[in-house]
Chains A and B, each alone.
Chain A
Amino acid sequence: MNTLPTTRNAVLVVEDDPLVRLGAVDLVEDAGFVVYEAENAEDAIHMLEEHEDIFALFTDIEMPGSMDGLKLAHMVNRRWPPVAILIASGYLKLSRQDLPDEAMFFTKPYSPATIAMALNAVAPHA
């Protein structure tokens, strides 16, 4: 069977607060990308396993469940190295060493325009 090469133009939004998640989903859509959403790390991993078109992970840090956003970011960095990582949190005291290399950090609340710009910068260009 012949499969077309996947166009990677989707962003995975991981955020446990439904309202904040809705805002994030809207900003990603407004920036012109396909969006998948998850409310915890376990769901996020399922999404990544199923959807090969994801080029960026945009995740919160504090989430319920066994894995927080930082652990998720490290795992994604290992298992899906091409996926760009954007992390947002209300916690300011976070050192560079806590984040995977190349990961971008944004404080909450964030500006939708800043996130959109960052996504455009890491999006693969056809």
Chain B
Amino acid sequence: MTANEAWQGIPAITPKHHFLADGGEMGEEIGAFDWSQTGLGPMDAWPLSLKTITRLVLTSKQPMCFFWGSDLLNFHNDAFRPMLGKRVDGALGQPFKKLWADVWENLLPYTRKALSGEGTWMENLPLVMSRNGYDEQTYWTFSYSPLHGDDGGVCGLLNIVTETTKTVIDRESLNAANGALAQSIEEAQRLIEDKIHSEEQQQLLQRELSHRMKNTLSVVQAIVAQTMRHSKSLAHASSTIAGRLIALSRAQDILSETSWASANVRDVVNNALAAHMDKDERFEISGPPVHISAQQALGISLAIHELATNALKYGALSNEGGRVTIRWSIGNDGAFSFEWCESGGPAVTDPENKGFGSRLVETIVASYFSGRGHLEYAPNGIVFRLVGRLHSGPEGVATK
């Protein structure tokens, strides 16, 4: 298409040739205005350039206004009217500085630039204005262009404008909503992660508990099997098993209190003796505060149970005047010594065959300490000595 086609069928001279023709409401208002009282003088005497720009602005659907003359008097088209708010009545012919007094200072640099012959284009310029009687945050995308008079000098400026207040505020609230949403999502993710973590912890705990239970049952199985193996009768086995399991159970009580980490030797000893202590004065217990592992606590408990059970039947706890001294210590080399010493009981004789009880005391309990145990059937009373280490090293005992 050539430029000529755009003109096809359009008469060379418009029938309505007055410059306010088709100018809308503002065209009528401009026509009715008494311009003779202003610096512009009566409309008939206006320069062609002013009439031309007036016609251009009035016939445009794009919001526009312009300011003309030394007082920069305001002209605007119908499309611009909403931007004036409550100022719309009486806005025509007002000096720029008076009409837009609230934003005059903000716009002055752009105004001066246009009056100097140079245009401006701004996007979303924020302006606080009171066009509706209250302070209002507004945003504007606009251009300021110089307007030239018939002699070529700058006589005013043209403002082609779109108010973007709603767009900007919508976008800002959208951004804020997005930010809040992102924060909520982040928080939700953290909560989910926390939940997963705590469930994993729970599962781990359950597994550990189940494992501990199975290990304990394995120990119980070993105690039952060994006791059955070395018992003379079922009745004897039954009561011995019951006693040993009770000792095991009491030791577990102490370990539960310390979450199976470690136990104090004195607590373990007192706890194990509680079932056998008819009179406190029979026992003399002494030793420094020493922490032993869970397995070692079980071992010491079982050993004390065996020694005390035997002492009740044949030893120092079987008569009125017998006594038991229990001592433990830590040597300079870190070795742990434990001693059970009976006195005042009936005369001791070496048993004909050693049962599981003595094997438990001498070998098994000592294994928990990677050490040696020795049961001496001294005539004055049974003496048990254990020497070992508190922490089992890499080279344990391995014997056939």
B6 contacts chain A at the CB level, 8 A cutoff: no
Contact for B217 among A46, A92, A108, CB less than 8 A = A108
Kindly list chain B residues whose C-beta atoms are within 8 Å of the C-beta of A38. 396, 398
Kindly list chain B residues whose C-beta atoms are within 8 Å of the C-beta of A81. none
**Per-position binary interface string of chain A over residues 58-90, scored 1 when its CB falls under 8 Å from any chain B CB and 0 otherwise:** 000010111000000000000000000000001
In the complex, the chain B residue whose C-beta lies closest to that of A46 is B398
For window 1-39 of chain A, which residues contact chain B by CB distance below 8 Å?
Answer: 16-23, 26, 35-39
Indicate whether A26 sits within 8 Å of B225 (C-beta atoms), given known contacts A17-B219, A108-B214, A109-B217. yes
Indicate whether A43 sits within 8 Å of B395 (C-beta atoms), given known contacts A37-B400, A90-B215. yes
Kindly list chain B residues whose C-beta atoms are within 8 Å of the C-beta of A16. 396
**Per-position binary interface string of chain B over residues 363-399, scored 1 when its CB falls under 8 Å from any chain A CB and 0 otherwise:** 1110110000000000000000000000010111111
B229 contacts chain A at the CB level, 8 A cutoff: yes
Q: How many residues of A contact B (CB 8 A)?
A: 32
Kindly list chain A residues whose C-beta atoms are within 8 Å of the C-beta of B226. 19, 22-23, 26
A49 contacts chain B at the CB level, 8 A cutoff: no
A47 contacts chain B at the CB level, 8 A cutoff: yes
Q: How far is the CB of A15 from chain B (nearest CB, A)?
A: 9
A-B contact pairs, 24 of them (CB 8 A): A16-B396, A17-B218, A18-B365, A18-B367, A19-B219, A19-B222, A19-B223, A20-B219, A21-B367, A22-B222, A22-B226, A23-B221, A23-B226, A36-B400, A38-B396, A38-B398, A39-B367, A42-B394, A43-B398, A47-B398, A90-B211, A90-B218, A91-B207, A109-B214
Q: B-side interface residues toward A, CB under 8 Å?
A: 207, 210-215, 217-223, 225-226, 229, 295, 299, 359-360, 363-365, 367-368, 392, 394-400
Across chains A and B, which 5 residue pairs bring their CB atoms closest together, nearest first? A90-B214, A18-B367, A23-B222, A43-B398, A39-B396
